[in-house]
Amino acid sequence: MRYWLMKSEPGDVSIDDLAKLPGQTVAWYGVRNYQARNFMRDQMSVGDGVLFYHSNCTVPGIAGIARVSSTAYPDAKQFERNSKYFDPKATHETPRWFNVDVQLVKKVGLISLAELRKHPELERMRILQRGNRLSITPLDPAEWKFITGKLAQD
């Protein structure tokens, strides 16, 4: 059992968008960074905990709790010629990009980035490090417990 923070731009898929999808589940397509891809492909298991993070928006922060609901499989968008995620070097025989499915567990009151920064317990989180841009980052179990137990409000 591992824990992850996964960024989504609410203009693309917000927590409310996720809540409306069939099964409240979304294919986490479009990751085009090898480190983030490897986390999904090599380390994620069904049931892993996910903090759903809103990035690149008015108030960035954690918007909900979710879970990994599939193992990794080839990202369909890499094969779609008219998609912005199309990759001409990817083939069905040797796909380059993978994604898991993510299912909503519950929406929480937004835990802003500013709020996260207030807690010394969280100071080692990747998301709080200067220059961090990785869209998927692992969380320590203690960080997961602190955030879901102490900061998350229904």
Say how many CA atoms lie within 13 Å of 88 toward its Cβ: 0
Asked whether position 99 contacts DNA by CB under 7 A, the answer is: no
Contact stretch for DNA (CB under 7 A) within 29-37, 73-81, 98-106, 141-149 = 29-37
For residues 49 and 60, which CB has a smaller minimum distance to DNA in the complex?
Answer: 60
Rounded Cα distance between 30 and 61, Å, is 20
Of 38, 55, 34, 53, residue with least CA distance to 102 = 53
For residues 20 and 130, which CB has a smaller minimum distance to DNA in the complex?
Answer: 130
Least separation, in Å, of the C-beta of 152 and DNA? 18
Check: CB of residue 57 under 8 Å from CB of residue 10: yes
Q: Give the one residue of 20, 133, 149, 154 binding DNA; rule: CB under 7 A.
A: 133
Asked whether position 86 contacts DNA by CB under 7 A, the answer is: no
Asked whether position 42 contacts DNA by CB under 7 A, the answer is: no
Of 10, 39, 14, residue with least CA distance to 24 = 14
Secondary structure (3-state) at 39 = helix
Exposure string of 30-42, with b = 16+ CB inside 10 Å and e = fewer, is bbbeeebbebbbe
Q: Give the one residue of 17, 34, 123, 140 binding DNA; rule: CB under 7 A.
A: 34
Asked whether position 14 contacts DNA by CB under 7 A, the answer is: no
Tokens representing 20 are 């409306």
Asked whether position 91 contacts DNA by CB under 7 A, the answer is: no
Q: Could you list the residues that contact DNA (CB under 7 A)?
A: 7, 9, 32-35, 55-57, 60, 113-114, 130-135
